[in-house]
Amino acid sequence: MIQGNSQPAYNRVGAVVMAAGLSKRMGKPKMVLPWGKQTVIEKVVSTLLSAEVSEIVVVTGAIHDEIKSALSRQPAQIVFNPNYADNIMLNSLRVGLTALNPNLDAALIALGDNPQIEQRIVEEIIIEYKNLQARIIVPSYALRRGHPWLVEKSLWQTLIDWDNQLTLRDFLNQHSQEIHYLNVDTPSIVMDLDTPDEYESQRPDIK
């Protein structure tokens, strides 16, 4: 397990949480909807922190102030994507990677609307990276790629310079020979919250 900021200066893994979406299909800001005793975005960040990710950057857009308030007690860096209205995920990733500490070795790419994220899966990805030093590690469930996936720092600039006409899927396809797939036993890696029905059917009971 990664040992927070006290860990050695190698194999340090940070995370970019992309939370700049417009929530059009949800009809209201989904990142700050309740999720148990937290909000959706709080749950994502707290899970990453529980897995002792070294540093977390949350990229915001339309509801920057609301997300900043929701995460006011979490040790995460909140950065604003000025191009959020373009609804291009790559723009948020550029902002997030640029904001990360350059002393990190790799970054997890996480979704702000994936509160189903599991601590044990995050830890498995980090351990896999430490053991294999693969440039890209993608969790897979039933042959479906999921989140969070990991990208080594040597590829950050490639992503920052990636053509806006292409997608992150194009990036993964073009680097397919460098991907190590981590097969997992949970569909949580391929889940997110796009519609009110998805939210209502998946939200946990408050206990």
Q: Which residue has the higher pLDDT, 29 or 130?
A: 130
Nearest to 96 by CA among 177, 20, 12: 20
What integer pLDDT is reported at residue 206 of this predicted model?
59
Strands 34-35 and 38-39: antiparallel
Q: What is the pTM of this model?
A: 0.90
- Alpha carbon distance 143, 10 (integer Å): 31
Domains of the chain: 10-200 (3.90.550.10)
Is the Cβ–Cβ distance between 147 and 139 less than 8 Å? yes
Average of per-residue pLDDT across 35-62: 95
Average pLDDT of the chain is 91
Buried b (16+ CB within 10 A) or exposed e, 159-178: beebeeeeebeebbeeeeee
Tell whether the model's pLDDT for residue 111 goes beyond 70: yes
pLDDT more than 70, % of the chain:
94
Tell whether the model's pLDDT for residue 21 goes beyond 50: yes
Residue pLDDT, tens place only, 189-201: 999 888 899 999 9
Tell whether the model's pLDDT for residue 18 goes beyond 80: yes
What integer pLDDT is reported at residue 6 of this predicted model?
43
What integer pLDDT is reported at residue 62 of this predicted model?
87
**Is the peptide bond preceding residue 75 cis, with omega within 30 degrees of 0?**
no
What integer pLDDT is reported at residue 125 of this predicted model?
97
